[in-house]
Amino acid sequence: MTTRPTNLPPTETRLASLVADWSADGETFKQVPWGKAMMWIFLLSDTFVFSSFLVGYMTVRMSAVEAWPNTSEVFALTIGGQHIPLVLIAIMTFILITSSGTMAMAVNCAYQHKRKQAAVLMLATALLGVSFVGMQVFEWSKLIVEEGVRPWSNPVGAAQFGACFFMITGFHGLHVSAGVIYLMVVAAKLWRGHYDQPQRADPGNYQIVEVAGLYWHFVDLVWVFIFAFFYLW
């Protein structure tokens, strides 16, 4: 991956194309389908939403006088008599990465015009997403019922922990749930041949799979940051 593909323009031409695109007094993102450009701009705005949450978390954690709860212990599980720290979160991380992989495969199949394979892979991605949300529900209920963590207080340390936890993971879980619905809708349409209908402006164009994939990979990307800053830090 260290070599740049030969079909890309050399650096100076890339810079020239950047200047040319932005100063063209016309469409800026040339050859970028509008659906993809719009999804990227939405994801950029979502980046700021999640960053605000994470920066807010940093602020309250740095200013907390009480000790911050040890996440390694809070999220530990005892499986088969073995006490494993943070294990549920690790499993959730692997599930999300697996789902990102199946999504990338789905996008690849869509570009090869393997309609049904792409739909099945998207469905697999959605199912992995459902299992992720299911584990999150388990994690939340364990924390609320067994550990007594509340947004305003908790028995394991600084009171701000609960508010950060519920806000950040809740918002991320909401994104995963929305992504599951989005993927299932696109997969169903793909399976039925909706994107091949002759009355469409561009029949046989499966660009939507890549756009949906962008959203899904973004959800995985956000989890990378949550995993690092909230669970591991």
Partner 1 sequence: MSLQNSSGLGSPSQDPLDSANLSQERGTECPAASNNHAQQHPIGLYLKVWLLLFVLSSLSYSVDYLQLQGMLRWSLIILFMLLKAGLIISVFMHMFWERVALVYAILLPPLCLLALIALMAIEANYTFANRLAFFSF
Site for partner 1 in 24-83 (CB under 8 A): 28-33, 36-37, 40-41, 43-44, 47-48, 51-52, 55-56, 58-66, 72
139: which 2 tokens?
Answer: 């994690």
- 77, β-bridge pairs: 84
- Spatial distance between the Cα atoms of 154 and 80, rounded to a whole number of angstroms: 27
Where are the extended beta strands (E) located within the chain? 77-79, 82-84
Nearest Cα residue to 207 out of 135, 118, 137: 118
204 binds partner 1 (CB under 8 A): yes
| Alpha carbon distances (Å) from 20 to 7, 29, 36, 154 | 19, 11, 21, 56
Among 53, 74, 88, 93, binds partner 1 (CB under 8 A): 93
Judged by CB under 8 A, the stretch of 7-15, 120-128, 145-153, 158-166 that binds partner 1 is 7-15
State yes or no: residue 153 binds partner 1 (CB under 8 A): no
* Cα–Cα distance for residue pair 201/125, rounded to 1 Å: 28
218 near partner 1, rule: CB under 8 A = yes
Stretch that binds partner 1, among 116-124, 128-136, 159-167, 197-205 (CB under 8 A): 197-205
Q: How far is the CB of 132 from partner 1 (least distance, A)?
A: 14
Number of residues that bind partner 1 (CB under 8 A): 81
